[in-house]
Structure 1
Amino acid sequence: MSQAYKTQIDAARKGIFTPQMEQVLEDEPISKQDLMDRVAKGHIAIPANKNHLNLKAAGVGQGLKTKINVNLGVSKDVCSFDAELNKAKMALDYKADAVMDLSVSGNTKGFRKRLVAEVPVMIGTVPIYDTLTRTQKPTEEVTIEDWFETVEIHAKNGIDFITIHAGLNSKCAQSIRTNPRLCGIVSRGGAILFEWMAKTGNENPFYEHFDRLLDICEAHDVCISLGDGLRPGAIKDSTDAPQIEELITLGELTKHAWGRNVQVMIEGPGHVPLHEVEMNMKLQKKLCHNAPFYVLGPLVTDIAPGYDHITSAIGGALAAMHGADFLCYVTPAEHLRLPTADDVKEGIMASRIAAHAGDLAKGLKGADEIDHKMSKARGTLDWDGQFKCAMDPEKAQEYRKLSQPSEEDVCTMCGDFCAVKRVKALL
């Protein structure tokens, strides 16, 4: 990275068009000037650690395509880094825009380095998890130095964005005590910090020493994804006082980070009923000054384990329509187990559908072109054309092969009753 600027936001404010900005512009319906203006304001983030040498940069934010993220990583019970790396490569095959390593067991540093070396999309982590894994200490014995040493390691390893639950301060912790929830705290990072604060009597180290965090992020150009430690894990808990209290704090931290030339994304809920999704998107954009919004789901019902990729896609499409910029995928295994490779594919495809549906709904320039091509192919019974337009051509072709029609130009659903075939010559 040129010494003329330290971070992407710093470069944009100085009028420098970086190689990463050029890569973003290649794939987005936005002008060069609009891109630079929005990066300078913090309304677009380009997570691009200067140590991630093979990165093909992507932008997240206003006026860009809705991006999707894939979570992976090992646990104590299921620990195969090779399997997780294969999932990462599958994510690339199915056109995910980002990969997050949430590993909580084993040689996390070694796996993280492999991931950065082999995966060219933006990569995220949660250093809070890795601090417990790395130090092997009980939560209350972790020191402030331990917390920040992990962040430094991740930054040096080339991680492009880190989730830090800096907004869960003592005031927010008190709020969740005085506003009881049906499902408490469901964020792993939020729960770890809440436990550390409760057992040590100290303030959240990332809130209290936020400038120290910014020093690390500025030095390596790491984007902070301000985590929602108090996101709702139940429909009943959606949009409650603790969630909003934390969101207000995240907005304050966002402005401070921008003042230090550090890029920010805001993480959002969570479990949210359909009628509150739009309100949540608008609240975040208002309270966090139009920073890019990264949402988990949202999941619009609590009762579909095994199908939560669908509950998430429903919420994700609505969220993207109303301003969400980045969707974290949810797999059918959510709430049940570590996802398999098949689960990962299902989660990716559901999120991609949601993201594209959101882009269509908000009128993103050029988003509907592929839909029109598909419609033309359907209207002319051009099956090869339909497969080329499909998000998952292999699956579409497999379905057609499994049930061959007696007449090649139709399908086995309608056969001779095919509406398109009957009126094709009449229109």
Structure 2
Amino acid sequence: MHYKTQIEAARQGILTDQIKLVAKKENRPAEWIREGVANGTIAIPANVHHQSLSAEGIGDGLKTKINVNLGISGDAKNYDLEMNKVKMAVKMGAESIMDLSNYGKTHEFREKLIDYSPAMIGTVPMYDAIGYLEKDLLKMTADDFLRVVEAHAKEGVDFMTIHAGINRRAIEGFKRSGRRMNIVSRGGSLLFAWMEMTGNENPFFEHYDDVLEILHEHDAVISIGDSLRPGCLDDSTDAGQIGELIEIGYLTERAWKAGVQVLVEGPGHMAIDEIAANMKLQKRLCHNAPFYVLGPLVTDIAPGYDHITSAIGGAIAASNGANFLCYVTPAEHLRLPNLDDVRDGIIAAKIAAHAADIANKLPGARDQDNRMADARQKLDWNAMFKEAMDPEKARRYYESVPLAQKHTCSMCGKMCAVRTTNKILSGEKVVFCDENGKCD
């Protein structure tokens, strides 16, 4: 049998090495994973050129995955810092890293990133186009855009955000909607500007078959970007967002037909009471393709704390159908994140993902929580640190205050509820004062 992509192999009944690895990681039968890949509800981004990859599955019935954004900008050109962020993301267990570099020649950085990273790698070729081609936006042609997609595919990028859904029909809906924030997608805004300046159709939509042919050749996944995602609460679930989503559903089916795996990208900023309905709407319109969301951020007024607003929305989204969370750092809307921001963003996204996995009752999702509860019941601090999502921070906090009472923490000391209950259940007395009546 001949196949070039994971979805083609799955349709032929073949258990690829990547399918077997995902099954092992997910505590699922390999045949169950294969069926999900075959029908498109599971995607395994695994470019044939990414030799260091440890494959992960994204989709229904699997653990919620998280993505870490990083990359060079015109105002922050420290490649060593960005590589340190990569190493931190890998160490902390992020399953995906997106290189969003948009300045200069990024090929060398991306080459090192793909060579090093066991996490899947994503890009947005539109961001790289101006630097890669050394052309201004207005002078670019459809062929130019396709050249950048092909270059990223050849380098080993596992999935690419392609903003193919913002076609002429979607733009008409956007213009009618009278948005408060207009377009906040960087790639979407660039394509919108190019279309308006040239009068042409979106090249990724007009030449979609050519895009799919490139991705198919290297088994790269298309992540269909949501150019019209809401950038504030007031723009969520409007005609622009839903109109583009309808186009994305059409493009999803075309990609599957061409033997290309699909991720679908979603909002954005959104009030809590709209999230569940949006997840179900996406699954319906996009035929249960894996859903990748940025947040959603549940309020617009917390710059400096948007990792929290994102984690709240992400947990709700992933417990209602989203499969893949893009982390948001405290620096969102303010600056390129530093290492501390990246750490905080990863932890917030991991909390959201794990909380959703528990709510979705995935196999083994509560095991670590149960081990933590057992360690706390025994007041076994080393075991607690081992189970903590961020062991270094947990230990640092615990050890930051000298303790008068062994095994307790500085919050309760001798009055620790667990200590008190353990003593009573073991037949001991609970004593707080010495024989002279001195009480600590």
TM-score band by shorter chain is over 0.9
1:332-379 Cα distance to aligned partner (Å, 9 max, x none) = 000000000110000000000000000011111110010011011111
Q: CA deviation at 1:29?
A: 2.6
What SS does the corresponding residue of 2:3 show, helix, strand or coil? coil
The letter for the 1-side match of 2:83 is: L
Q: Does residue 325 of structure 2 align to residue 361 of structure 1?
A: no
Q: Does residue 48 of structure 2 align to residue 40 of structure 1?
A: no
Q: CA deviation at 1:32?
A: 1.3
What SS does the corresponding residue of 1:148 show, helix, strand or coil? helix
Equivalent positions of 1:226-305 (< 5 A) are 226-305=224-303
The letter for the 1-side match of 2:285 is: L
**Matches of 2:407 and 2:119, distance apart in 1:** 40
Q: Does residue 325 of structure 2 align to residue 337 of structure 1?
A: no
The letter for the 1-side match of 2:271 is: P
1:180-208 Cα distance to aligned partner (Å, 9 max, x none) = 11101000010000001001101001111
**Matches of 2:331 and 2:27, distance apart in 1:** 34
The letter for the 1-side match of 2:355 is: A
Equivalence for 1:422: 420
1:402-422 Cα distance to aligned partner (Å, 9 max, x none) = 012211111111111111111
**Matches of 1:395 and 1:219, distance apart in 2:** 44
Equivalence for 2:129: 131
Does the 8 Å contact 2:15/2:31 carry over to 1? no
Q: Does residue 402 of structure 2 align to residue 398 of structure 1?
A: no
What SS does the corresponding residue of 1:349 show, helix, strand or coil? helix
Q: CA deviation at 1:380?
A: 1.4
Q: CA deviation at 1:20?
A: 1.0
**Matches of 2:27 and 2:241, distance apart in 1:** 34
The letter for the 2-side match of 1:22 is: K
Equivalence for 2:145: 147
Does the 8 Å contact 2:105/2:131 carry over to 1? no
**Matches of 2:78 and 2:378, distance apart in 1:** 47
The letter for the 1-side match of 2:51 is: L
The letter for the 2-side match of 1:194 is: F
The letter for the 1-side match of 2:422 is: K
1:233-291 Cα distance to aligned partner (Å, 9 max, x none) = 00000010000000011001001100111000000000011000101110111110000
Q: CA deviation at 1:78?
A: 0.6
Tell me the number of residue pairs that the alignment of Structure 1 and Structure 2 aligns: 425
Equivalence for 1:322: 320
Equivalence for 1:185: 183
CA RMSD of aligned residues (A): 0.9
What SS does the corresponding residue of 2:424 show, helix, strand or coil? coil
The letter for the 2-side match of 1:374 is: M
Equivalence for 2:434: none
The letter for the 2-side match of 1:331 is: T
Moved more, 186-195 or 79-88: 79-88
Which one of 104, 109, 131 corresponds to residue 111 of structure 1? 109
1:75-123 Cα distance to aligned partner (Å, 9 max, x none) = 0111011111110011001110000000011221111111111112100
What SS does the corresponding residue of 1:99 show, helix, strand or coil? strand
**Matches of 1:195 and 1:134, distance apart in 2:** 19
The letter for the 2-side match of 1:409 is: H
Does the 8 Å contact 1:293/1:326 carry over to 2? yes
**Matches of 2:325 and 2:278, distance apart in 1:** 14
Q: Does residue 171 of structure 2 align to residue 173 of structure 1?
A: yes
1:366-396 Cα distance to aligned partner (Å, 9 max, x none) = 1001001101111111111111110111110
**Matches of 1:127 and 1:87, distance apart in 2:** 21
**Matches of 1:30 and 1:250, distance apart in 2:** 29
1:140-163 Cα distance to aligned partner (Å, 9 max, x none) = 211111100000000000000000
**Matches of 1:137 and 1:195, distance apart in 2:** 15
What SS does the corresponding residue of 2:121 show, helix, strand or coil? strand
Q: Does residue 407 of structure 2 align to residue 409 of structure 1?
A: yes
**Matches of 2:22 and 2:222, distance apart in 1:** 19
Q: TM-score, normalised by structure 2?
A: 0.96
Which one of 217, 220, 225 corresponds to residue 222 of structure 1? 220
Equivalent positions of 1:194-233 (< 5 A) are 194-233=192-231
Does the 8 Å contact 1:321/1:361 carry over to 2? yes
Question: Which consecutive unaligned segments of at least 5 residues does structure 1 have?
Answer: none
**Matches of 2:421 and 2:81, distance apart in 1:** 51
**Matches of 1:30 and 1:236, distance apart in 2:** 41
Does the 8 Å contact 1:30/1:63 carry over to 2? no
What SS does the corresponding residue of 2:365 show, helix, strand or coil? coil
Q: CA deviation at 1:138?
A: 2.2
Q: Which has the larger radius of gyration?
A: 2
Does the 8 Å contact 1:29/1:64 carry over to 2? no
Q: CA deviation at 1:34?
A: 1.1
**Matches of 1:172 and 1:30, distance apart in 2:** 39
**Matches of 1:333 and 1:405, distance apart in 2:** 35
What SS does the corresponding residue of 1:57 show, helix, strand or coil? coil
**Matches of 2:417 and 2:129, distance apart in 1:** 61
**Matches of 2:11 and 2:401, distance apart in 1:** 58
The letter for the 2-side match of 1:356 is: H
The letter for the 1-side match of 2:340 is: D
Q: CA deviation at 1:137?
A: 2.0
Equivalence for 1:9: 7
Equivalence for 2:93: 95
Does the 8 Å contact 1:268/1:293 carry over to 2? yes
What SS does the corresponding residue of 1:47 show, helix, strand or coil? coil
1:202-244 Cα distance to aligned partner (Å, 9 max, x none) = 1001111110001001100000000000000000000100000
Q: CA deviation at 1:21?
A: 1.0
